[in-house]
């Protein structure tokens, strides 16, 4: 079983490292957010007495990168369905759960790598975390966020039958998750409806946790963030496993 999980994990990771084009391509939008918003809104943010905007938003952009990459790699299920490889794995004498775990861990790993890449980019842009020692903890948090959204991607990928639903998911799920997460703005003094929505968003806890670890600014406190993320991860993985078991080939 472990060898099956490993080989399916390895497949995702290999494919990622083999396509530097995709690796760099998906860094485009986070870099734009960092560069344009970071420096463009920076002066206003500073004038409002909130300090450096780049410092504030870099953890949010790392979270966004992980959100996008892991959701997409979960949805790569759709490609595998279309190009047949999914069938190859689903007719093997292996429990589906094992296959789902291998794929999801692979997707999460890819997203984590992508998150670390954008972390590196933000360092170049001038982002300064509280110290070197916080980095390992930050990576653990990133991994947790990657797991949450890879599981979400698996749920979507198992539930959709065609690529047509992709835009729908992008505009009505992934983008709202990003915008509601507080990646771009502080969570305090929000209008009540927005405050409620941000609290329902899993990424909110990921970004808040990262902010807490990296720059020492937190809304909920890192402990609550981590507990919430673990809870959501378990829930989504369970739903993902269930949806995956229902795929018909």
Partner 1 sequence: MGGDLEWVMTESPPAIRVEHLVKKFGDVTAVDDVSFEVRRGEIFAFLGPNGAGKTTTIRMLTTLLRPTSGSLTLEGLDPVTQRDEVRRRIGVVFQDPSLDQDLTAWENMEIHGVLYGVPRTERRERTEKLLALFELADRRTSLVKTFSGGMRRRLEIARGLLHTPKVLFLDEPTLGLDPQSRNQMWSHVQQLNASDGVTVFLTTHYMDEADRVAGRIAVIDHGRIVAIGSPAELKGRTGTESLEAAFLALTGTAIRDETAGATDRMREAGRMWGRR
Q: Are 243 and 159 in contact (CB under 8 A)?
A: yes
Q: Which DSSP letter does residue 216 get?
A: S
Q: In this chain, which stretch among 77-85, 144-152, 196-204, 228-236 interacts with partner 1, using CB under 8 A?
A: 77-85
- 202-215 helix and 222-245 helix, angle to the nearest 10 degrees: 140
Dig out the tokens for 12 from the structure.
């995702």
Using the rule CB under 8 A, is 81 a contact of partner 1?
yes
Task: Pick the binder of partner 1 from 21, 47, 49, 91 (CB under 8 A).
Answer: 91
Give whichever of 92 and 227 is closer to partner 1, judged by the CB atom: 92
Query: What residues between 198 and 237 interact with partner 1 by CB under 8 A?
Result: none
Task: Pick the binder of partner 1 from 27, 31, 42, 85 (CB under 8 A).
Answer: 85
Identify which of 240, 214, 212, 216 has the alpha carbon closest to the alpha carbon of residue 226: 212
Give whichever of 158 and 198 is closer to partner 1, judged by the CB atom: 158
Alpha-carbon distances, residue 49 vs 43, 44, 45, 52, 53 (angstroms): 10, 9, 7, 9, 10
Rounded distance, CA 135 to CA 224, Å? 19
Please list the alpha-helical segments (H only) found in 126-221: 134-159, 165-169, 175-179, 192-200, 202-215
Q: In this chain, which stretch among 25-33, 45-53, 157-165, 179-187 interacts with partner 1, using CB under 8 A?
A: 157-165
Q: How far is the CB of 190 from partner 1 (least distance, A)?
A: 39
Lay out the site mask for partner 1 across 13-32 (x = CB under 8 A, - = otherwise): -xx--xx-------------
Rounded distance, CA 117 to CA 206, Å? 17
Using the rule CB under 8 A, is 4 a contact of partner 1?
yes
Using the rule CB under 8 A, is 96 a contact of partner 1?
no
Using the rule CB under 8 A, is 79 a contact of partner 1?
yes
Using the rule CB under 8 A, is 87 a contact of partner 1?
yes
Residues that bind partner 1 (CB under 8 A): 3-4, 6-8, 11, 14-15, 18-19, 78-89, 91-94, 161-164, 249
């Amino acid at each position: 079983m472990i060898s099956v999980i490993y080989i399916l994990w390895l497949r995702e990771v290999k494919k990622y490292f083999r396509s530097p084009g995709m690796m760099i391509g998906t860094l485009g939008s986070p870099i734009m957010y960092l560069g344009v918003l970071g420096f463009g809104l920076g002066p206003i943010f500073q004038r409002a007495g909130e300090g450096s905007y780049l410092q504030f938003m870099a953890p949010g952009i790392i979270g966004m990168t992980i959100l996008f990459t892991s959701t997409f790699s979960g949805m790569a299920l759709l490609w595998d369905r279309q190009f047949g490889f999914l069938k190859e794995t689903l007719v093997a004498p292996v429990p589906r759960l094992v296959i789902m775990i291998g794929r999801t861990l692979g997707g999460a790993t890819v997203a984590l790598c992508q998150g670390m890449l954008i972390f590196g980019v933000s360092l170049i842009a001038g982002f300064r975390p509280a110290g070197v020692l916080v980095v390992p903890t930050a990576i653990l948090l990133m991994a947790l966020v990657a797991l949450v959204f890879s599981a979400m991607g698996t749920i979507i990928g198992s539930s959709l039958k065609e690529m047509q639903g992709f835009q729908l998911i992008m505009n009505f799920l992934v983008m709202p998750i990003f915008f509601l997460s507080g990646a771009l703005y502080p969570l305090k003094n929000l209008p009540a409806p927005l405050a409620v929505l941000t609290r329902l968003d899993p990424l909110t806890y990921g970004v808040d946790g990262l902010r807490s670890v990296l720059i020492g600014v937190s809304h909920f406190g890192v402990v609550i963030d981590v507990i919430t993320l673990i809870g959501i991860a378990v829930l989504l993985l369970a739903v993902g496993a269930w949806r995956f078991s229902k795929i018909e080939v």
